C-alpha cells in the first residue's frame, strides 16, 4: 500500500530519470491521522450545516446566503481533497486489492458525508428567480452569481429531494462500482507480445513502432485479448447505458447527449453543428490524408495497425524526458513567460507521474485536485514524439487548473468543452515551436504529417467515437446489445470516418472496448474535437494579433468556470455558435494536408 501511494522515480537507459509524483502534499499516507481527522471534521461540519440551513434558505438575506455558500464551499474543498488523494493513489496502481479497497472506502465515506449537504443545491434551485435576484443585488452573494447561474441551469431536470438522495447514495454501489470494475479489469489485462506480456499502455505504444511486424503483432494481440473480454465489457457498457437511460428519462432529457451538453454549458445545436461539420469533412481530411500516407508506404490500403505508424523515412529517435521537458517549456515560454513559469512548477516539484508501471492507469490525465493544493499529471512516457505532445497537452491542463484556482472550489472547474482549450493550445505551441527549428524539407514533412495525424485523432476520430456512442445509446433504448452488435457499430463508424485507404481486420471490432471515456464520462469525447477546432481558430487570431493576445489568453484561463464560452471567446472575436466557426477550424487541418500534398 505504501509503494502504491508513494511510487519511486525510475531511471531508464534511454529516457533518463522519469519522475513519479509525491502525493504527500495532499496526505502523508492512506492510513494517516491527517486524512482521518479531515474526514471526521468535515462530517461533523456537514451535519451541523444541515441542521443550521436545511429548509431555511428562503429566509436568508443575500449576505447570510453568501456565508452559507462559503461554508458549503469549505466542505466541498475538504471532500475534494480526500477524493483527489484516493483517486490518485488508485490510478497509481489499480491492480492492488488494498488500493482498490481504500478507494472504495473513501467513496463510501464521501457519499455518506455529502448526503448531509445534498439538500443545499436542491433547495437553492427551489428559490424563486426574482427572489434570488433580489438577494444577489447589492450583497456579497454577487460573487457566486456565476455558480448559481450554472447550478440553476439544472433546475428543470431536478427531481424530488428524496429521489435525488436515493440516486446520490446508490451511485457508489451502482455506476461507480461498474466504472471501477472496468478500470481494474483493463489494468489487469496482459497482452502477449514477442514472448512477453505487456500492459495496455505498452501494447498501444507498439502500434507506432518502426517495425511493421511489431505493429502487426501488437495490434492483433490487443484485438485478441480485448475480444476474449468482450462479454464483460459489453455487459458493463449495456448496464451503464441503461442506467443513464433510466435517469435521463426521469429527469426529462430529450437525448442521451443532452445531460452532457448541459453540464458543458453548451447548447445541443452547437454540438450538432460541430459533429455535422466534422463528419461532412471526413473525405477532405481523413480519407485524403490516409490515401496520401498509403501512397508513401507504397500500398493501396494501409492495414489499420499502420494508421499511426512512423513514416518510412522517419528516424523515430527516442526522446529523453529532459529533452521533452525542455521542448515543451521552451514552446510555452515563447508564447508567454508567465505560462512557462507556471508550467515549470510541475517539473520543479513531484507533481508528474511519468513511468509506465504494472497496474498504473493507462493513457494520461491532469487531475486538478482542489485550489488549496495543486494539480497532478499522469502520463505513460515512452519517448515518442506523440508522448512529447501528450506532455504538452496535459501540462496545458495543469497550467489552466492552477490559474483557474483563484476562482475557488465551486467556480474553478471549467466545462469540458473549454477545459480542452488550454491543453490543445499547449500542443499547438509545442508543434509550431519544433516545426520552426526544422530546416530540412524531409524533417518538416515528417513533423507536419505527425501533427496532421494528431489532429485527425483529436477531431475526426473523436467525432467518430461520439457517433459510435450516440448509436450505442440510441440502440440500447430498444434492448440490450450483443458484443457483436457493438463491434458492428464500431466498425461502421470507423470505416466511415477513416475512409477506404485503411484496411480493417476482424479483431479490430473489439477496439471500442478499451476507450475509457465511454465508461467514465459518457459523451465526453466530442470535447476534444470542440477544443481542437476552437484552438485552430484561436491560434489563427494569435498569428494575426498585435501585442496583448497572451494577456487575454491568460485571463481566459484564469476565469475558470465563472464565464461561459460566448463570454470567454468574445475578446478574440470568436463565436462557437456560428457554423462557420467550425469550418474555419477544420480549414487549418485541411491546409496542412494541402502542404503535404505539395511536398510530394
Would you give the DSSP letter of residue 207?
Answer: G
Q: How far apart are CA 176 and CA 167, in angstroms?
A: 12
Over residues 12-33, the mean pLDDT reads: 96
Q: Is residue 532 part of a domain?
A: yes
Most distant CA pair in the chain: distance in Å? 75
Look up the domain containing 428 and give its range: 321-437
How do strand 376-378 and strand 365-367 relate by DSSP bridges?
antiparallel
Least confident window among 49-58, 81-90, 401-410, 431-440 = 431-440
Clarify whether residues 412 and 504 are in a common domain: no
* Residues 118, 34 share a domain: yes
Identify the domain boundary among 152, 170, 193: 152
What pLDDT is stored for residue 600 in this prediction? 72
| pLDDT computed for residue 2 by the predictor | 55
- How buried is residue 306: exposed, middle or buried, by Cβ count under 10 Å (0-12/13-18/19+)? buried
Q: What is the pLDDT of residues 432-487, one digit of tens each?
A: 998 888 878 888 898 899 999 999 999 999 999 999 999 999 999 999 999 999 99
Give yes or no: residues 465 and 554 share one domain: yes
Q: Among the three residues 416, 437, 458, which one is the final residue of a domain in this structure?
A: 437
Cα–Cα nearest to 417, from 530, 250, 541: 530
Instruction: Mark whether 27 and 123 lie in a shared domain.
Output: yes
413 with 282, same domain? Answer: no
Total domain count, the chain: 3
pLDDT score at 408: 96
Rg (CA), the chain: 24
The answer to whether residue 216 sits within a structural domain is no
What's the CATH number where 3 sits? 1.20.140.70
pLDDT in tens, 334-383: 999 999 999 999 999 999 999 999 899 989 999 999 999 999 999 999 99
Which residues 6+ apart lie within 8 Å of 68 measured at CB?
49, 53, 57, 60, 120
pLDDT digit string, tens, across residues 120-133? 999 999 999 999 99
260 and 354 fall within a common domain = no
Residue 355 resides in a domain = yes
Query: Is 193 inside any structural domain?
Result: no
Q: Is 206 inside any structural domain?
A: no
Looking up residue 338, the CATH number of its domain turns out to be 1.10.10
Give the pLDDT confidence score for residue 576 in this predicted structure.
81
Note the pTM of the prediction, 2 decimals: 0.89
- With the C-alpha atoms ordered 204, 210, 212, 213, is the resulting torsion angle positive or negative? negative
Domain presence at residue 229: no
7 and 138: one domain?
yes
340 φ/ψ angles, rounded to the nearest 5 degrees = -70, -35
Whether residues 27 and 43 fall in one domain = yes
Q: What is the pLDDT of residues 138-153, one digit of tens each?
A: 889 999 999 999 999 9
Dump pLDDT digits (tens) for 171-181: 999 999 999 99
SS3 state of residue 12: strand
Of the residues 152, 184, 210, the one at which a domain ends? 152
354, part of any domain: yes
Residues 132 and 104 in one domain: yes
User: Do residue 31 and residue 148 come from a single domain?
Assistant: yes
495 or 317: which leads in pLDDT: 495
Examine the domain organization and report whether 353 and 295 are in the same domain. Answer: no
Q: Are residues 415 and 464 in the same domain?
A: no
Is position 157 within any domain? no
The CA distance from 104 to 90, in Å, is 10
Amino acid at each position: 500500500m505504501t509503494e502504491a501511494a508513494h511510487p519511486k522515480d525510475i531511471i531508464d537507459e534511454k529516457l533518463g530519470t522519469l519522475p513519479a509524483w509525491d502525493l504527500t502534499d495532499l496526505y502523508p499516507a492512506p492510513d494517516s491521522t491527517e486524512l482521518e481527522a479531515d474526514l471526521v471534521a468535515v462530517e461533523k461540519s456537514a451535519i451541523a450545516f444541515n441542521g443550521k440551513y436545511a429548509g431555511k434558505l428562503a429566509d436568508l438575506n443575500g449576505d447570510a446566503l453568501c456565508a452559507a455558500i462559503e461554508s458549503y464551499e469549505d466542505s466541498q474543498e475538504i471532500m475534494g481533497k480526500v477524493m483527489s488523494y484516493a483517486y490518485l493513489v488508485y490510478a497509481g496502481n489499480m491492480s492492488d486489492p488494498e488500493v482498490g479497497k481504500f478507494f472504495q472506502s473513501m467513496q463510501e465515506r464521501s457519499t455518506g458525508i455529502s448526503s448531509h449537504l445534498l439538500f443545499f443545491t436542491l433547495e437553492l434551485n427551489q428559490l424563486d428567480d426574482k427572489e434570488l435576484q433580489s438577494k444577489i443585488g447589492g450583497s456579497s452573494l454577487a460573487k457566486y452569481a456565476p455558480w448559481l447561474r450554472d447550478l440553476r441551469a439544472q433546475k428543470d431536470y431536478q427531481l424530488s429531494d428524496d429521489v435525488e438522495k436515493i440516486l446520490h447514495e446508490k451511485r457508489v454501489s451502482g455506476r461507480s462500482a461498474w466504472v471501477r470494475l472496468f478500470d481494474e479489469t483493463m489494468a489487469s489485462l496482459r497482452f502477449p507480445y514477442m514472448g512477453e506480456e505487456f500492459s495496455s499502455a505498452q501494447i498501444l505504444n507498439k502500434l507506432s513502432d518502426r517495425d511493421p511486424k511489431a505493429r502487426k503483432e501488437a495490434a492483433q494481440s490487443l484485438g485478441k485479448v480485448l475480444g476474449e473480454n468482450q462479454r464483460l465489457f459489453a455487459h458493463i457498457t449495456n448496464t451503464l447505458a441503461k442506467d443513464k437511460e433510466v435517469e435521463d428519462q426521469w429527469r426529462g432529457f430529450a437525448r442521451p447527449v443532452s445531460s452532457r451538453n448541459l453540464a458543458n454549458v453548451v447548447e445541443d445545436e452547437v454540438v450538432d453543428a460541430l459533429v455535422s461539420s466534422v463528419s461532412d469533412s471526413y473525405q477532405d481530411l481523413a480519407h485524403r490524408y490516409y490515401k496520401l500516407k498509403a501512397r508513401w508506404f507504397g500500398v493501396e490500403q494501409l492495414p489499420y495497425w499502420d494508421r499511426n505508424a512512423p513514416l518510412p523515412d522517419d528516424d523515430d529517435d527516442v526522446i529523453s524526458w529532459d529533452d521533452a521537458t525542455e521542448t515543451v517549456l521552451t514552446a510555452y515560454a515563447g508564447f508567454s513567460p508567465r505560462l512557462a513559469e507556471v508550467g515549470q512548477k510541475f517539473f520543479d516539484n513531484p507533481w508528474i507521474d511519468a513511468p509506465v508501471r504494472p497496474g498504473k492507469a493507462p493513457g494520461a490525465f491532469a487531475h486538478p485536485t482542489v485550489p488549496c493544493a495543486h494539480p497532478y499529471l499522469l502520463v505513460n512516457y515512452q519517448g515518442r514524439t506523440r508522448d512529447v505532445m501528450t506532455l504538452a497537452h496535459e501540462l496545458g491542463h495543469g497550467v489552466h487548473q492552477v490559474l483557474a484556482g483563484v476562482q475557488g472550489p465551486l467556480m474553478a472547474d471549467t466545462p469540458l468543452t473549454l477545459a480542452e482549450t488550454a491543453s490543445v493550445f499547449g500542443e499547438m505551441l509545442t508543434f509550431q515551436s519544433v516545426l520552426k527549428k526544422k530546416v530540412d524539407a524531409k524533417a518538416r514533412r515528417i513533423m507536419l504529417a505527425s501533427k496532421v495525424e494528431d489532429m485527425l485523432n483529436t477531431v475526426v476520430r473523436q467525432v467518430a467515437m461520439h457517433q459510435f456512442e450516440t448509436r450505442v445509446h440510441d440502440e440500447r433504448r430498444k434492448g440490450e446489445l450483443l458484443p457483436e452488435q457493438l463491434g458492428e457499430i464500431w466498425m461502421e463508424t470507423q470505416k466511415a470516418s477513416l475512409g477506404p485507404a485503411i484496411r480493417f481486420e476482424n479483431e479490430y471490432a473489439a477496439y471500442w472496448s478499451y476507450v475509457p471515456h465511454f465508461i467514465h464520462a459518457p459523451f465526453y469525447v466530442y470535447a476534444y474535437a470542440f477544443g481542437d477546432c476552437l484552438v485552430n481558430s484561436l491560434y489563427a487570431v494569435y498569428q494575426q494579433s498585435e501585442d496583448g493576445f497572451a494577456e487575454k489568453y491568460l485571463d481566459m484561463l484564469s476565469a475558470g468556470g465563472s464565464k461561459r464560452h460566448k463570454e470567454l471567446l468574445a475578446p478574440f472575436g470568436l463565436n462557437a455558435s456560428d457554423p462557420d466557426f467550425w469550418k474555419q477550424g477544420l480549414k487549418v487541418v485541411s491546409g496542412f494536408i494541402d502542404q503535404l500534398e505539395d511536398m510530394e
